[in-house]
Amino acid sequence: MIRIKEFVEQSGMTQARAAARLGLTQPRLNALLKGKIDQFSLDALVNAASRAGLQVDLLVTAPKRVSARAAANV
């Protein structure tokens, strides 16, 4: 979301033009620029980032081991 916002700000495009480029409506782009992340699915953000020419990488890893003592304090 941050990188998409940076793309829009650095592009010099109007919100309407940037929204069209990203495959969004202008009100949806405005919500994105205001950081309303709860209004966007991961899929929608990935699609917009791809349309902005950004590379999207997703890293999935196993959870870090937590010691029994640390787990007891949670």
For residue 12 the two structure tokens come to 């010099």
Domains and their CATH numbers in the chain: 1-74 (1.10.260.40)
Q: What is the pLDDT of residue 64?
A: 83
d(CA 32, CA 4): 8
Q: How many helices (H) and strands (E) does the chain have?
A: 5, 0
- Residues written for the chain: 74
Mean pLDDT of the 27-38 span? 96
Which of the pair, 71 or 30, is modelled with greater confidence?
A: 30
Asked if residue 20 has pLDDT above 90, the reply is: yes
At 34, the pLDDT band (50, 70, 90 cuts) reads: very high
Q: pTM value?
A: 0.75
d(CA 65, CA 52): 37
